[in-house]
Amino acid sequence: MNAPEFSLMIDVRQILEAPVVIVPDKVARRRLAARFGLSHITAMRAEIALLRAGNVVNASGRLNADVIQPCAISGEDFPVRIDEPVTLRFVPQVTALVPDKEIEITAADCDDIEYDGTAFDLGEAVAQSLALAIDLFAEGPGAAAFRAKHGLDQAAAAGPFAALAALRKAD
């Protein structure tokens, strides 16, 4: 497995009351931008409060980032501001799985992030939160002009039968 682009290991036994402030350096931001298909991450900061209940750690806070991403229509870069709440739950890794035994997973279980040993990677979890906050189909300010210039603004041209209609016109 490859090492994450941004890692911040937190030992469950050493969690303090003060929130953890996460600010990736320039190299980490460049690597994260490449991983997530962004042109650049200008700034990124998360402030996360950790609350331990036994070996379970609930994390909540806010993620702010300024990114430059390509427009889904024209491909031109444009700035995007991300301001998202972050809610994470870290649980010890389940080791007692019986092969071929059916298990029930609730909706809450899907949000659990398992960790092995006594530490979890808060940096990677925040990086994944950033990935989920990115709008992959975001349109930049020049999208409408690009559509008009290239004939992409017609509703019929975007429909499921557009390719068939184009073939019919060629006959």
Sign of the C-alpha dihedral, residues 116, 120, 121, 126? Answer: positive
Q: Which residue has the higher pLDDT, 162 or 62?
A: 62
Going across the sheet that includes 112-115, the strands are: 20-22, 40-53, 56-70, 77-92, 112-115
How far is 12 from 151, CA to CA, in rounded Å? 56
pLDDT at 168 over 70: no
Query: Percent of the chain scored above 70 by pLDDT?
Result: 80
What average pLDDT does the segment 72-100 reach? 87
How far is 123 from 100, CA to CA, in rounded Å? 34
**pLDDT band (50, 70, 90) for residue 4:** confident
Q: Which burial class, exposed, middle or buried, applies to 96 when counting CB atoms under 10 A from its CB (0-12, 13-18, 19+)? A: exposed
At 117-128, the pLDDT tens digits run 999 999 999 999
- The residue count of the chain comes to 171
Type of residue numbered 169: K
Q: Give exposure, 69-84, as e/b (b: 16+ Cβ within 10 Å).
A: bebebbeeebebebeb
How far is 78 from 42, CA to CA, in rounded Å? 12
Q: At what angle do helices 122-133 and 26-36 cross, to 10 degrees?
A: 50
Place of tokens 């809610």: 87
Q: Which two structure tokens, joined as six digits, stand for 164?
A: 């068939």
What average pLDDT does the segment 124-143 reach? 92
How far is 132 from 126, CA to CA, in rounded Å? 10
pLDDT at 171 over 60: no
pLDDT at 130 over 80: yes
pLDDT at 153 over 80: no
